Structure 1
Amino acid sequence: MTQGAGAERLAALCGDVHGGRGPAYRVLADAVRVLTGDGRLPSGTRLPAERALAEALGVSRVTVARAYRDLRDDGWADARHGAGTWVRLPDRTGGVDGVWAPGPVDRGTIDLAHAAPAAPAVLPDLVARAVERGAAELAGHGYGPDGLPALRAAIADRFTARGLPTGPEQVVVTGGALQAIGLVVAELAGPGDRVLVEHPTYPSALDVVSDAGAVAVPVSGDGADATPQTVLPRAARQTAARVAYLMADFQNPTGRLLDDGARARLVQRLARQGTVALVDETFAELDLREGATGPLPCAAHAAGPDDVVTVGGLSKIAWGGLRIGWIRAGRERAARMRRRLARAQLALPVLEQLVAVEVLERLDVLRAERVGVLRTRRDLLVAELAAALPDWRFTVPDGGLALWCDLGAHVSTALTAAAPRHGLVLAPGPRFGAGHAFTDRLRVPFTHPGPVAAEAVRRLARTARDVDGPGRTAGADPATRAGVVV
């Protein structure tokens, strides 16, 4: 059993259990299910005593007792006399406790929690070409913690083509972008060190920082006077942070894109505070603008080779099952991280690396297919949401994979809890932040084919009606349908 959750902390995570969305005990039980399912309450966490939680929430002890009983009856909690009640994942959920990755879903259920598109049509041909190329590798021993030379060269060439001259010696090949983030955090920050993170941010980045023993410091960068290039350097000065994790390209989940001027100011100001910019470029190739030329990589604006470390991968532009990522850093820092990685694994799968070489050599073809499909799906999702949920507000992003929706009410957790009854899996807004933030937000990916997306929105609307929160269409002003901000 893991450490218990304090009553005040759990009450803050659950939020207001009143508010007309059903009996308070049901709202509380639903909130605990959501928190357990997305890992904010790890399986085995002991729940507070009924009386303490009742006082923290401002409800009766009977309400808490009924919620705990429902959780036990549904397989979301266990109890033992004298030991209390602790949460667990029901056997039927599948997946891995607390891991931010798509898991099995019931047949007919639509997963809107994760932005994970299927592979593009061109990928099978690239896999076949990689298999043919792999025959020549079988004569060797197959080990190589540095990664295949051809792959490191292809990654370096892609950076160079984007305006950032790079040599293969500056590249570290990893098992996906998440492993790359973890390797960089472990290299640059130790236990107790502060790591700045945008707020909201990629959920697994928060997990990686926590696993390294570092302290994530959330920094909000939305608004005219609170841009990333101003608030992150200010927070770096105030906290002496070692690292600032950020996404300059179609930030997850907001979709925000920083221009060259903002990038230059951001990395140079962070460097003056002694803070390394850890830039995640996972979405950098997903620019959906017609004929647009994207900004330079952040590292192109750095004054020194160690001011910026860049990570990326192929999971979004190619396929989530292609677990190839990379780090781009100064030569000496890259060499240290290769040595660190070699102590953990002797080699990456050779065939996957060969597929990655094929993908990078034909990236323009693959990207054109992927971007065209995503642009169509984004526009369809925008139209469907405008028709079905006109009270929701969002900015249509120029790239990435999802819309970051303002629900107009603090019902994100309630929606997520009710969604399975309507054949949906959602990710609550607070999963993208720290504490009890973003309870009025929901990330909705545009990665599903048109008919699936349309059905998903219909189910979303039914879910919204179920919780008696967002989605009220009566009297909505057609001029503000969906609150779209272009």
Structure 2
Amino acid sequence: MSQWTATVGVTHLARLLEPRPQRSTGRRVPAYRGLADGIRVLVLEGRVPVAARLPAERELALALTISRTTVAAAYEALRAEGFARSRRGAGTWTAVPEGHALPTRGLEPLPPDAAGTVIDLGCAALPAPEPWLSRAVGGALADLPSYSATHGDFPAGLPVLREAIAERYTARGIPTLPEQIMVTTGAMGAIAAAVRRLVAPGERVAVESPSYANVLELLRESGSRLVPVALREGLAGWDLDHWKRVLRDAAPRMAYVMPDFHNPTGTLVPDEQRRALVEAARAAGTVLIADETMAELTLDAGGGPAPRPLAAFDRGGTVVTVGSASKAIWAGLRIGWVRATPDVVRRLVSARAYLDLGSPVVDQLAVAWLLRNEVWDDAVAARRERARSHRDDLVAALRDRLPGWEFAVPSGGMTMWVRTGEVSGSRLAMAGERLGVRVPSGPRFGIDGAFESYIRLPFTVGGSVARDAVERLAAAEQAVRDGGVAETPEGTGLFVA
């Protein structure tokens, strides 16, 4: 990158640089070196974005109560190592070294016939809940004759499904008309339609950091300029001060967020943060894309009511909500939807003529059958029970075999964000592939090399398979520590969902 695209406030950076407990090395580290290392770690962990303008030397020196000479030396060290760049009159901004190996998007999922030898933790997806899926498909085939006599193209979606989805939003406390719903081919189809219609190439899009890998790739391919906004640590939600600063200074056209059991971290954002972000986005003129694909996968009751949908705080069309049957029911049921104002829905529908024309009728009928026959909740409950069991098995195995790894256990969703300590996530993924376990490394969920010390683990295997997967990860960690992986690959062909 040749120029900064966001800023890091001096107060925010000073708070992030607060001392953490460190292992004693028996040697004294110069102050400038400690500051440079602290900023470098923040960049690699994604807590400070790449291409973010750092505070001026004098400002940071005052905030940290150190000399300006120390800050200048730290910035110089970062520039020498490739973690910062400067230009006269433009200041200093974060970077990653030239040639830093970054994971590329995955090419394809693991073939089913490899399941006996390789444990695939790349996809956050479970087998279909039965007998509900088969019953839904049977009901769809029974309803098909009344549609097969038509041309079969329904760009906005089948009326019966639009009505069912609208009724479900209304039951959740968000009055919704069928005209506010467009059915899409999965959640990715919904997000792609919104990006293509609402964001011009070159415009800024703010994203959580980390964020869902496939959406990041979609935004890059669309020509959007990504502005990362770090999540708070410990599943504590959004950093509202950071969000407000980005919305004010970068003026992004759109922001993509996942407030409900965020992928990859599992974060559940509380009501007060949702309200504040909607208000800030409305003031900035930024469209908020709220991805609710994980919203129904609550695994722990938590003793309180679930947060309200982001759209519940919207009074002026700021929020465009995306939903899907793929996580709640089955990934093979490629039906998603958009909830927005009727005007936005009409604009999105008009663009389908040169996208995909419409979604498969039989799949739409199957989802409508689940919703109309009031068995959707039964199918989702079975999904939750299985994911909860898998999560608990995975957590127990990690605590037993890899106690040095750090993670917060999410109360829902399908994924957990794990810090692997001093071991590179990319190298760990490469070693794991050779030892029969596939995991996506942290940089897949960040921008320009962030999150090198993380991996994402989904709740897709349990029991002895979960224990076996963790045993293989422990062996992979040891292989990395022993120098068994000489270099970080640009990509392992890993499919991430």
User: Same fold judged by TM-score > 0.5?
Assistant: yes
**Which residue is 1:143 aligned to?**
153
**Which residue is 2:353 aligned to?**
342
Distance 1:266 1:442 in 2: 28
Deviation at 1:303, TM superposition (A): 2.4
Distance 1:171 1:100 in 2: 32
1:202 aligns with 2:212: yes
TM-score, structure 1 as length reference = 0.74
**Which residue is 2:12 aligned to?**
none
**3-state SS, counterpart of residue 305 of structure 2:** coil
The residue identity in structure 1 corresponding to 2:441 is P
Q: How does 1:168-207 map to 2 (within 5 A)?
A: 168-207=178-217
**Which residue is 1:123 aligned to?**
133
The residue identity in structure 2 corresponding to 1:102 is P
Q: How does 1:223-242 map to 2 (within 5 A)?
A: 223=233, 227-242=238-253
Distance 1:166 1:381 in 2: 39
Deviation at 1:253, TM superposition (A): 0.8
Deviation at 1:101, TM superposition (A): 5.8
Describe the shift of the 1:359–1:452 C-alpha distance in structure 2 as closer, same or farther (beyond 3 A).
farther
Describe the shift of the 1:109–1:271 C-alpha distance in structure 2 as closer, same or farther (beyond 3 A).
same
1:452 aligns with 2:461: no
Distance 1:336 1:425 in 2: 40
**Which residue is 1:294 aligned to?**
306
**Which residue is 1:360 aligned to?**
371
Distance 1:423 1:117 in 2: 19
1:132 aligns with 2:145: no
Deviation at 1:221, TM superposition (A): 2.4
TM-score, structure 2 as length reference = 0.72
**3-state SS, counterpart of residue 309 of structure 1:** strand
**3-state SS, counterpart of residue 299 of structure 1:** helix
Distance 1:131 1:247 in 2: 34
1:307 aligns with 2:314: no
Distance 1:274 1:143 in 2: 34
- Deviation per CA, 1:303-328, whole angstroms, max 9, x where unpaired? 21x21111111111111111111111
**Which residue is 2:120 aligned to?**
111
The residue identity in structure 1 corresponding to 2:290 is V
The residue identity in structure 2 corresponding to 1:354 is L
Is the 1:232–1:270 Cα contact (8 Å) retained in structure 2?
A: no
1:429 aligns with 2:439: no
Describe the shift of the 1:102–1:276 C-alpha distance in structure 2 as closer, same or farther (beyond 3 A).
same
Deviation at 1:292, TM superposition (A): 5.5
- Deviation per CA, 1:99-133, whole angstroms, max 9, x where unpaired? 57634263411111221111112211221121112
**Which residue is 1:463 aligned to?**
476
- Deviation per CA, 1:56-98, whole angstroms, max 9, x where unpaired? 99xxxxxxxxxxxxxxxxxxxxxxxxxxxxx9x9xxxxxxx83
1:380 aligns with 2:393: yes
- Deviation per CA, 1:322-361, whole angstroms, max 9, x where unpaired? 1111111011111111111233233321101111112333
**Which residue is 1:282 aligned to?**
293
1:268 aligns with 2:268: no
**3-state SS, counterpart of residue 263 of structure 2:** coil
Distance 2:266 2:383 in 1: 17
Q: Cα RMSD between the aligned structures?
A: 2.5
Distance 1:112 1:343 in 2: 35
Describe the shift of the 1:380–1:226 C-alpha distance in structure 2 as closer, same or farther (beyond 3 A).
closer
Distance 2:371 2:422 in 1: 43
Deviation at 1:202, TM superposition (A): 0.2
1:391 aligns with 2:384: no
The residue identity in structure 2 corresponding to 1:288 is L
The residue identity in structure 2 corresponding to 1:108 is T
Deviation at 1:163, TM superposition (A): 1.2
Is the 1:288–1:399 Cα contact (8 Å) retained in structure 2?
A: yes
Moved over 4 A (4+): 223-226
The residue identity in structure 2 corresponding to 1:297 is P
Distance 1:182 1:208 in 2: 7
1:245 aligns with 2:252: no
The residue identity in structure 2 corresponding to 1:324 is I
Is the 2:393–2:462 Cα contact (8 Å) retained in structure 1?
A: no
Relative contact order, higher structure (CA 8 A, sep 6+): 2
Describe the shift of the 1:142–1:222 C-alpha distance in structure 2 as closer, same or farther (beyond 3 A).
same
Distance 1:146 1:442 in 2: 38
Is the 2:423–2:480 Cα contact (8 Å) retained in structure 1?
A: no
**3-state SS, counterpart of residue 272 of structure 1:** helix
Structure 2 unpaired stretches of 5+: 3-79, 83-100, 484-497
**Which residue is 1:98 aligned to?**
105
Deviation at 1:141, TM superposition (A): 2.3
- Equivalent residue in structure 2 for 1:371, among 343, 360, 384: 384
- Equivalent residue in structure 2 for 1:160, among 157, 164, 170: 170
The residue identity in structure 2 corresponding to 1:455 is D
- Deviation per CA, 1:34-55, whole angstroms, max 9, x where unpaired? xxxxxxxxxxxxxxxxxxxxx9
- Deviation per CA, 1:206-265, whole angstroms, max 9, x where unpaired? 111112211111111214999343322220111111111001001111111111111111
**3-state SS, counterpart of residue 395 of structure 1:** coil
**Which residue is 1:220 aligned to?**
230
- Equivalent residue in structure 1 for 2:433, among 395, 420, 424: 420
**3-state SS, counterpart of residue 321 of structure 2:** strand
Distance 2:185 2:254 in 1: 22
Describe the shift of the 1:398–1:299 C-alpha distance in structure 2 as closer, same or farther (beyond 3 A).
same
Is the 2:259–2:268 Cα contact (8 Å) retained in structure 1?
A: yes
Is the 1:249–1:258 Cα contact (8 Å) retained in structure 2?
A: yes
Deviation at 1:186, TM superposition (A): 1.4
Number of aligned residue pairs: 380
**3-state SS, counterpart of residue 345 of structure 1:** coil
Describe the shift of the 1:100–1:379 C-alpha distance in structure 2 as closer, same or farther (beyond 3 A).
farther
Deviation at 1:438, TM superposition (A): 0.6
Moved more, 314-323 or 137-146: 137-146
Describe the shift of the 1:326–1:101 C-alpha distance in structure 2 as closer, same or farther (beyond 3 A).
farther
Distance 2:436 2:214 in 1: 25
Deviation at 1:466, TM superposition (A): 1.2
Deviation at 1:166, TM superposition (A): 0.6
Structure 1 unpaired stretches of 5+: 7-54, 58-86, 90-96, 471-486
The residue identity in structure 1 corresponding to 2:431 is A
The residue identity in structure 2 corresponding to 1:126 is A
Distance 2:199 2:338 in 1: 16
**3-state SS, counterpart of residue 120 of structure 1:** coil
Deviation at 1:293, TM superposition (A): 3.5
Distance 2:238 2:401 in 1: 32
